[in-house]
Structure 1
């Protein structure tokens, strides 16, 4: 069979690569989307110095897990006040980049609820207008800078919307490890585990191929070695660079496969139990590894290349890795009973991401 790998994002990686903004935005009007702490960290002023009068609009109140309750006003103000900008620059973690992806998809009316109605159909559509997106992650984990997907939450209604259009692929990704130096330990761990989940999910996936595996296996190896070291030495530039590259490789892997069962479970854990995304999608990894093992010879070979031939040892390695980062690995640890956990797994298997899991066909 022919393996196909496609990623249209112009990716710039390296220490100090944020400087690339100067050449990338020539003769453009730019809107910055970032997180509330960015100004205190000097990041907004730094971008202002790089862009000068090209920077015409700043949105700096992005919250974790972008929710419709806040996004509605942000979206409508953006299109009213900065509708003539060319490019949206997202600087932050997954929430900032996901927010920017929602903002760049313009509706005919400029109303956010029109966008929600289109997303609720679950069908692809071509927006009447859109903006270009440059994504510069400040965390090593999201992968959103090299994927087209964004998740929009509606906590009040216990729903989520998945955004995925041709225009939501970032035009450029700037992966500058220097931006990650100030990330606190808890976020470093959570986002690093999100990257590990992305890489593993792309392996036990019906859409996996030798090209995506190459990125995934390398990312998994790097994260298992690097993340515990980084958690104890947060200012280490070499470790920050290694994690940034590992997260990028994980993002490239799942940009072609999408995620699978662990992520499908995570949505319920975030909506109903309040778990941060990186923890919600990683605490089940030892369990999901066991569910994946034995369903596909090619997938088993890839997993065994990483973990060896003994499933129980492989699960123990993952479990001990998570425990070393103070991440609990049982549903009961999060107030979920065994019955509820099984119901959640069964439900997750039927979700769009769950159906990507190689074990879903046997479920």
Structure 2
């Protein structure tokens, strides 16, 4: 058996690496997609100074969990007013990068509803036109800068869409830990736990292999040690850099495996209970660890390298880690009854991500 690992993203990591935007976009016209606070933080002005007249369009009203209600207008204005630009730069967390991924996929009509129809069909498609994407995360967690996936929400209809095409792989990822210095504690925790989830989900995954494991194990060990320390010292540049690298490694791991059961559960928790993504996909990690343990000998070896040989101790360690960050770990903590939780788990196992979980076939 031959294991394969593929990631086409040109990845740049380092303090101050955002400055490379200037050389990366030479002789191009550029649109910027970012979050509302980017202006007050001076980030928009900094990018404007780097790009000068190349920066021809700005979207700076990205909201968490990009929803079709807002995306429709943003998408159609983008293609009407910036349809001729060459490159889109996404600077922000997962929501900014996901929004940018949706924007770069152009439909023949220029309408967002045409894109939704293509996504709803569930069939592969080649977009009528597309843009080059450069992604620069401002949080250590999403992994979206080195993966092709974007989640688009339709909260009014209690639906979500997963967008993933060849063109939604970023061409370049710039991971500049300096951009993460201003991230508040709650977001630092939530996004850091998203990264931990990505790494663990890539381990208890039917698509795992020794190459993805190498990235995942390193990411998990770093996050378990680093995130509580960072929570106590948010301005420490070394801890910010270490978390940024750990989140990148987690992103590389699941860029090849995709996520699994904890993420499948998280979509229901976000849609129906409004739980932020990082918490929604991490509070079940001790539970899912128990469901994964004993299902596959090779996966057990990898998990035991991280947590030791005793399942109960492993779950206790993971639960204690989450509790130390003030994250509750029971469904009932979030208003979900035991019967509803069991139904949610069974439903999640049948989802696309749930089917990646090593325990699903045996369930």
Shorter-chain TM-score category?
over 0.9
Matches within 5 A, 1:1-363: 1-363=1-363
Rounded Cα–Cα distance in structure 1 between residues aligned with 2:97 and 2:11: 15
Cα offset, 1:354, TM superposition: 0.1
Rounded Cα–Cα distance in structure 1 between residues aligned with 2:340 and 2:122: 27
Worse-matched range after superposition: 120-129 or 197-206? 120-129
Rounded Cα–Cα distance in structure 2 between residues aligned with 1:166 and 1:121: 18
Cα offset, 1:213, TM superposition: 0.1
State the Cα deviation string for residues 101-137 of structure 1 (Å, max 9, x = none).
0000000000000000000011110001000000000
State the Cα deviation string for residues 65-89 of structure 1 (Å, max 9, x = none).
0000000000000000000000000
Rounded Cα–Cα distance in structure 2 between residues aligned with 1:310 and 1:121: 45
Rounded Cα–Cα distance in structure 2 between residues aligned with 1:155 and 1:337: 22
Rounded Cα–Cα distance in structure 2 between residues aligned with 1:329 and 1:123: 36
State the Cα deviation string for residues 290-323 of structure 1 (Å, max 9, x = none).
0000000000000000000000000000000000
Rounded Cα–Cα distance in structure 2 between residues aligned with 1:347 and 1:56: 45
Rounded Cα–Cα distance in structure 1 between residues aligned with 2:175 and 2:56: 23
Rounded Cα–Cα distance in structure 1 between residues aligned with 2:269 and 2:6: 31
Cα offset, 1:278, TM superposition: 0.1
Partner of 1:90: helix, strand, or coil?
strand
State the Cα deviation string for residues 11-38 of structure 1 (Å, max 9, x = none).
0000000011011000000000000000
Runs of 4+ residues deviating >4 angstroms = none
Partner of 2:361: helix, strand, or coil?
helix
Partner of 1:361: helix, strand, or coil?
coil
Rounded Cα–Cα distance in structure 2 between residues aligned with 1:128 and 1:234: 44
State the Cα deviation string for residues 276-299 of structure 1 (Å, max 9, x = none).
000000000000000000000000
Partner of 1:135: helix, strand, or coil?
strand
Cα offset, 1:237, TM superposition: 0.1
Partner of 1:362: helix, strand, or coil?
coil
Q: How many residues align?
A: 363
Rounded Cα–Cα distance in structure 1 between residues aligned with 2:274 and 2:222: 29
Cα offset, 1:206, TM superposition: 0.0
Structure 1: gaps spanning 5 or more residues: none
Cα offset, 1:358, TM superposition: 0.1
Rounded Cα–Cα distance in structure 2 between residues aligned with 1:236 and 1:326: 21
Rounded Cα–Cα distance in structure 1 between residues aligned with 2:265 and 2:235: 33
- Normalising by structure 1, report the TM-score: 1.00
